[in-house]
Amino acid sequence: MPNDDPKLMYRWGTMEGASRTFETFAIRMKSDMLRMARRQDRRKVLRRARDFCGFVMVFSTRNGEPLAIINDGILQHMRVGGCAGLGAKYLSREDSSVVGIFGSGGMARTYLLAFNAVRKLREVKVFSPTRKIAKPTPPR
């Protein structure tokens, strides 16, 4: 949705899922601003893990009661980084020690933490198309 600033747009989104094993249902609701850099190019304004983007609500599927409300700012980075770590664990050679990353934005540091958890990294090669964020930003 457009707002007063023609270069910014508001975006709302949800993801839902349930677990029979844990007898829970969760919904992730996110609210963020997109910067319109070019006509077709949309960039999120909030990129760091400490930025608030939304929250996750968890409910019991046995009785419907709410179990948790969690700030999603850091959780989203850990969720995505964790999936990347699993990919590295099962898709890379066990003796892999060099990683190359395209991009150095908000998720890069979390990806590196996950890769290093499954492989002993000795070298990291980063390419960033944006000079301003040439180093991965640490999650907080």
pLDDT digits (tens, 9 = 90+) for 24-35: 999 999 887 777
pLDDT digits (tens, 9 = 90+) for 49-106: 455 678 999 999 999 999 999 988 778 888 889 999 999 999 999 999 999 998 887 7
8-133 architecture in CATH? 2-Layer Sandwich (3.30)
Q: Which two tokens stand for residue 43?
A: 């960039």
Express the helix, strand and coil content of the chain in percent, nearest 5 each. Answer: 25, 35, 40
Q: One-letter amino acid identity for 14?
A: T
> Average pLDDT, stretch 12-20?
94
Domain chopping of the chain, boundaries: 8-133
Q: Which helix (H) or strand (E) holds 43?
A: strand 42-44
Q: What is the residue whose two structure tokens read 């949309």?
A: 42
Give the pLDDT score at 17.
Answer: 97
